[in-house]
């Protein structure tokens, strides 16, 4: 198939694009390569993807070096710009879409809210419109565990109420779910939203705590431990995330004929619409995660204990039972091996 992956130079996007290519699909990858964090890391991810498929890019005039892999076409563009995005759909027969392009980060949304409206609202609207008008078979898109906001019921279930977000980032992700349902209802567009829980692993984002901890401890600098280390996070290794994304992509959402407006199930509909949690379903105390990093680095951390930040939540814990039922999803990576893989990558990439 021809599969469009937005945010293809991002952490999750690059891994998803690579696995699709290795499975023989042709990937049209788009990314605006903005400077929210190091652009060099984004381009290095793309170079890594190309290296793993034998530089099997669409403009490779020498022919495919790995006949079993699909071809990669990468285009630098912003999904918030409708005209260039429309041309991508016009020029390529897109079968399915994985929308991972978004302005990420809870804390940055307090500083620059307009960036979230442009990318996460305007950009997502453009994706929906293009999918609608080009008869895309399935749209899978990134939501976030942050939509659970003030919810304190554990584990977080896709059947829970999520009407009390604690950051604008979370509010835009909740909005994406509502917008997707509207298009599923009005136009029969199959959509599936995935609420990602804390993702870590090689090529991870430098604004996330795993990177910040590894970087600071490596350099002998103190790390900031918010909420005095009392956080619990459902840390999920990137390979387990990719397996879940591709499993869902292979099964376009269908309408649930048993759905009732008198007792509405929030994660299904009579329209072809689904929502799933995707996480490890095994929350880890922040101090235990830091200890795993210390073991992998062979170095102790200097800790600066601080109160919880605005927009943050104390715990995340994914109920993935719906995803287990749908695609037999089973995360495999334990936190100690996962952290070791991440530290090995960090040391290799940053010498």
CATH of the domain at 247: 3.40.50.720
Domain that holds residue 180: 2-196+237-279+319-331
Token pair for 266: 């929030």
287: in domain: no
Residue 124 pairs in a beta bridge with none
348: in domain: no
Token pair 């890019």 is at which residue?
57
* pLDDT value for 106: 81
229: in domain: no
Q: Is 329 a catalytic residue?
A: no
213: in domain: no
Q: Is the pLDDT of residue 81 over 60?
A: yes
69: in domain: yes
Residue 98 three-state SS: strand
Tell me the average pLDDT of the chain. 93
With b for 16 or more beta-carbon neighbours within 10 A and e for fewer, the 180-211 pattern comes to: bbebbbeeebbbbbbbbbbbbbbbbbeebbbb
Q: For residue 221, what is the DSSP state?
A: -
Q: What angle do CA 49, 109, 125 make, to 5 degrees?
A: 65
206: in domain: no
Give residues with Cβ within 8 angstroms of 234, minimum separation 6: 145, 197, 198, 279, 280, 281, 282, 283, 284, 316, 317, 318
Residue 185 three-state SS: helix
* pLDDT value for 153: 86
Mean pLDDT of 286-314: 89
What separation in angstroms does the CA of 242 have from each of 14, 98, 175, 239, 335?
10, 11, 24, 5, 17
Q: What's this model's pTM, rounded to 2 decimal places?
A: 0.93
* pLDDT value for 154: 86
204: in domain: no
Mean pLDDT of 190-205: 96
- The structural domain count of the chain equals 1
Residue 347 three-state SS: helix
Give residue 56's pLDDT band: very low, low, confident or very high (50, 70, 90).
Answer: low
Q: Which one has a higher pLDDT value, 334 or 68?
A: 334
Can you tell me the distance from the alpha carbon of 195 to that of 286, in angstroms, rounded to the nearest whole number?
A: 21
Q: List the catalytic residue out of 169, 317, 329, 342.
A: 169
303: in domain: no
Can you tell me the distance from the alpha carbon of 155 to that of 152, in angstroms, rounded to the nearest whole number?
A: 9
Give residue 63's pLDDT band: very low, low, confident or very high (50, 70, 90).
Answer: very low
Between β-strands 232-233 and 284-285, what pairing exists: parallel, antiparallel or unpaired? antiparallel
Give residue 60's pLDDT band: very low, low, confident or very high (50, 70, 90).
Answer: very low
Can you tell me the distance from the alpha carbon of 12 to that of 201, in angstroms, rounded to the nearest whole number?
A: 10
Of 54-58, 131-135, 188-192, 247-251, the least confident: 54-58
Contact criterion met (CB below 8 Å) for 238 and 274? no
* pLDDT value for 58: 53
């Amino acid at each position: 198939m021809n599969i469009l992956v937005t945010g293809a130079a991002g952490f999750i996007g690059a891994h998803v694009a690579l696995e699709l290519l290795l499975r023989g699909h042709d990937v049209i990858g788009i990314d605006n390569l903005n400077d929210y964090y190091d652009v060099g890391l984004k381009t290095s991810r793309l170079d890594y993807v190309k290296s793993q498929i034998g530089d099997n890019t669409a403009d490779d005039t020498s022919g495919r070096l790995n006949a079993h892999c699909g071809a990669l076409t990468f285009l630098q563009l912003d999904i918030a710009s409708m005209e260039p995005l429309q041309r991508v759909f016009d020029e390529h027969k897109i079968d399915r879409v994985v929308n991972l392009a978004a302005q990420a980060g809870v804390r940055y949304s307090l500083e620059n809210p307009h960036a979230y409206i442009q990318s996460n609202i305007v950009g997502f609207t453009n994706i929906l419109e293009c999918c609608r008008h080009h008869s895309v078979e399935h749209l899978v898109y990134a939501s976030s565990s942050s939509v659970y906001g003030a919810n304190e019921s554990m584990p977080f279930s896709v059947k829970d109420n999520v009407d009390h977000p604690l950051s604008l980032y979370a509010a835009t992700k909740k909005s994406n779910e509502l917008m997707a349902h509207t298009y599923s209802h009005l136009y029969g567009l199959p959509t599936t939203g995935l609420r990602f829980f804390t993702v870590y692993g090689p090529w991870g984002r430098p604004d996330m705590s795993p990177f910040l901890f590894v970087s600071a401890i490596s350099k002998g600098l103190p790390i900031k431990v918010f909420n005095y280390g009392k956080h619990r996070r459902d840390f999920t290794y990137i390979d387990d995330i990719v397996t879940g994304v591709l499993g869902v992509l292979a099964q376009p959402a269908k309408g649930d004929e048993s759905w009732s407006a008198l007792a509405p199930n929030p994660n299904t509909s009579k329209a072809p619409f689904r929502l799933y949690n995707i996480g490890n379903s095994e929350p880890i105390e922040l101090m235990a995660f830091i200890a795993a990093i210390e073991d992998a680095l062979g170095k102790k951390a200097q800790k600066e204990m601080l109160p919880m930040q605005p927009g943050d939540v104390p715990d995340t814990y994914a109920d993935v039972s719906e995803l287990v039922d749908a695609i037999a999803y089973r995360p495999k990576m334990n936190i100690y091996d996962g952290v070791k893989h991440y530290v090995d990558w960090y040391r290799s990439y940053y010498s």
